[in-house]
């Protein structure tokens, strides 16, 4: 039997709302991090116009339930994306000029992070998760500045 979006929300201890369902639908279709203004535009396509406070509350509950992940970008903007399973774990390159976010995965980097977590464990520290953001200029912004 296929799990529905409603089942997924309930399984994570949340009350099912149309807004929660559509938020998850948007992230599944877009497959990239979105800021709140970007998410509001996307939800508008579903004819949903939630108040920002309501949207932040729903996002907070989805992050708390482990369905979404919050990313803090260099300019202080918060963005969100679907929480990935361990085998799909990835990191982000963030353009400092246009805030474009590019996902990347590097198995050697993951191995190094696991070794670092093991070394910290020997010192009594427990690492539960990690996030890595690299910053610079994306291809489009690099081209604009080289002209």
Q: Residue 114: which CATH number?
A: 3.30.1490.190
State if pTM tops 0.75: no
What is the pLDDT at residue 7? Answer: 82
Whether residues 50 and 122 share a domain: the answer is no
**pLDDT tens for residues 91-141?**
888 888 887 888 888 888 888 988 999 999 999 999 887 778 888 898 888
Picking from 83, 110, 135, the residue at the C-terminal end of a domain is: 83
Picking from 33, 58, 83, the residue at the C-terminal end of a domain is: 83
Domain span at 106: 87-147
Whether residues 75 and 94 share a domain: the answer is no
Whether residues 72 and 99 share a domain: the answer is no
Average pLDDT, the chain: 85
Q: What is the CATH number of the domain that holds 6?
A: 1.10.10.10
Q: How many helices (H) and strands (E) does the chain have?
A: 6, 6
Taking the C-alpha atoms of residue 3 and residue 72, their distance in angstroms, rounded to an integer, is 30
Whether residues 136 and 122 share a domain: the answer is yes
Distances (CA, A) of 106 to 65, 74, 89, 103, 130: 27, 21, 9, 10, 14
**pLDDT tens for residues 46-83?**
899 999 899 999 999 999 998 898 887 666 778 888 88
């Amino acid at each position: 039997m296929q799990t529905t979006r409603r089942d997924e929300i309930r399984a994570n201890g949340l009350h099912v709302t149309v807004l929660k369902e559509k938020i998850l639908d948007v992230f599944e279709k877009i497959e990239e991090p979105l800021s709140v203004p970007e998410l509001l535009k996307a939800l508008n396509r579903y004819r949903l116009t939630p108040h920002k406070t309501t949207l932040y509350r729903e996002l907070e509950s989805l992050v708390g339930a482990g369905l979404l992940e919050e990313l803090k970008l260099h300019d202080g903007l918060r963005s969100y994306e679907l929480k990935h399973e361990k085998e799909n774990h990835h990191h982000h390159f963030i353009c400092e000029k246009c805030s474009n976010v590019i996902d990347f995965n590097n198995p050697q980097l993951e191995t190094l992070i696991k070794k670092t977590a093991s070394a910290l464990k020997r010192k009594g520290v427990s690492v539960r998760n990690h996030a890595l953001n690299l910053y610079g200029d994306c291809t489009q912004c690099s081209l604009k500045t080289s002209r």
